[in-house]
Amino acid sequence: MMNILVNGSLAIDRIMQFEDQFEKNILPDQLSNLNLSFTAKTLNEYFGGTAGNISYGLAKLGHKPTIIASIGSDGHEYLKNLSKLEIDISKINIVDTDKTAGAYILTDSLSNQITFFYAGAMLETSIKNLQLNSYQHTKTIAIISAGNVNDMLSLTNLYKTHQIPYIFDPGQSLPLWNKNNLLEAITGSNILISNEYEFGLIKNILSNSEIEISQLTENIIITLGKKGSRIILNAKDSNQSNIIKIGACSNIKIEDPTGAGDAFRSGLIDQLSRNQSLIDASKFGTTCASFCIESKGPQTYSLSNNLIKERLNTIEIN
């Protein structure tokens, strides 16, 4: 089976539910003078973070991914849970001087989210003693997801040096990137993946158009939430015929959207590791995301082979 390297964050998600809509409680003419308080009905704690969520999904699909990330002094239960899933934790850096990163997520009745993030141990490098020689010239795929920005940039160069194909997924880390570093990270990636809002940020940071960005990477995936995703295949030869639209699964009950994007990435990587096309891999990722959406928390869902097949058949391609 293919080696899978997952870089990103390990965090504790504290998810709260707001029964109203954010927009009803925000005065447009007072945006420069905000003083808001949202009362949450529920509070639940879950294991989270991009690296943890993606690895969880991969484990559910039969893989034993290797996590490259840092965790705090309070992360023993998290590590124990990852080990139970047979996820390789040998390259996780344990930081005794700080707490595990934490996300405080408030979701409203329309599934809009406001997130506050404490970086904690994530600010400590996880690649100081990282050795990749054993992965060179092997069947390996890597994903660099939102986490320690210095590590993310360093890994793009390490993967290029060791000829390891990588997916670049900057996500929520984008406000911390400057133009030169972001350009360097995207250039040479096998896939650039982001949601629609994040792709807008990428264009703003680089001051480039979609076509110009497509010259930097092999493929681009832009996830569109309940609208599915848009794929630019063979991006360097970009033209209108290379753009494929993947629909979403139908008849899904939304319980909690937290982690759905990471579940998508788990399914995507699973299928790419099995030599499936990017279109089929994206369809499968969409299906995995649908199971996450139906559960509370990013690492609580289960996958059913029968339901996967059933839901795959509901996804339209344009």
- Summarised one tens digit per residue, pLDDT across range 226-280 is 899 999 987 666 555 589 999 999 888 888 888 999 999 999 999 999 999 999 9
Q: For residue 101, what are the contacts with CB-CB under 8 A and spacing of at least 6?
A: 9, 10, 11, 12, 49, 72, 117, 118, 119, 120, 121, 122
- Total count of domains within the chain: 1
Report the C-alpha gap between 222 and 245 in whole angstroms.
10
pLDDT of residue 239: 54
> Is 87 part of any domain?
yes
> Is 30 part of any domain?
no
Report the C-alpha gap between 238 and 232 in whole angstroms.
7
CATH number of the structural domain spanning residue 223: 3.40.1190.20
The boundaries of the domain holding residue 171 are: 3-24+38-312
pLDDT of residue 29: 85
> Is 255 part of any domain?
yes
Hey, what long-range contacts does 172-180 have (CB within 8 A, 24 or more apart)?
172/115, 172/117, 172/146, 172/198, 173/146, 173/147, 173/149, 174/198, 174/201, 174/202, 174/205, 175/201, 176/149, 177/149, 177/205, 178/205, 179/205, 179/206, 179/207
pLDDT of residue 15: 87
pLDDT of residue 120: 96
Question: Which pair of tokens denotes residue 180?
Answer: 């030169």
List Cα–Cα distances, 113 to 6, 106, 198, 257, 284, in angstroms.
Answer: 25, 6, 15, 9, 25
> Is 31 part of any domain?
no
pLDDT of residue 28: 85
Q: Which residues of the chain have pLDDT under 50?
A: none
Query: What is this structure's pTM?
Result: 0.90
pLDDT of residue 241: 54
> Is 95 part of any domain?
yes
> Is 32 part of any domain?
no
pLDDT of residue 233: 86
Q: For residue 313, what are the contacts with CB-CB under 8 A and spacing of at least 6?
A: none
> Is 317 part of any domain?
no
Identity of the amino acid at 145: S
Alpha-helical regions (H) of 131-222: 149-161, 179-186, 196-206, 210-214
> Is 197 part of any domain?
yes
24: DSSP letter: G
